[in-house]
Amino acid sequence: DADVTQTPRNRITKTGKRIMLECSQTKGHDRMYWYRQDPGLGLRLIYYSFDVKDINKGEISDGYSVSRQAQAKFSLSLESAIPNQTALYFCATTRGTTHTDTQYFGPGTRLTVL
């Protein structure tokens, strides 16, 4: 089984709808991240969480919110989706205690906002 899973894998929605993307991990890591990927732009950090009680904004948090329901679960919400939020979204985890820790990424969620 995959260490990091994301649901749904694909989602098409309409402008103004509320959308939730979910991420679960079995690595036992405390630190979890949400990234957005647009063509030709690499990945940009949306939100990150160092433990269940910790939430931090990343580079591009406007229009998004997150919830850390448990150590293993980190959800990303779009309260009112807009077309420029159409992108590929990745969840990642890391033990994160040193510079040398590796990030483990999920398979991604492709979101289309019409």
Partner 1 sequence: DAKTTQPNSMESNEEEPVHLPCNHSTISGTDYIHWYRQLPSQGPEYVIHGLTSNVNNRMASLAIAEDRKSSTLILHRATLRDAAVYYCILVKTSYDKVIFGPGTSLSVIP
Interface residue list for partner 1 (CB under 8 A): 4, 31, 33, 35, 40-45, 48, 50, 56, 58-59, 90, 92, 94, 96-108
Identity of the residue, 16 or 28, whose beta carbon is nearer to partner 1 in the bound complex: 28
Q: Smallest distance from the beta carbon of 10 to partner 1, in angstroms? A: 11
**Within 13 Å, how many C-alpha atoms sit on residue 54's CB side?**
10
Residue 30: left (phi > 0), alpha (psi -120 to 50), or beta? alpha
Identity of the residue, 33 or 64, whose beta carbon is nearer to partner 1 in the bound complex: 33
| Residue 72: Cβ-neighbour burial (10 angstroms; 0-12, 13-18, 19+) | middle
Q: Smallest distance from the beta carbon of 86 to partner 1, in angstroms? A: 17
CA distance 67 to 17: 18
Identity of the residue, 14 or 49, whose beta carbon is nearer to partner 1 in the bound complex: 49
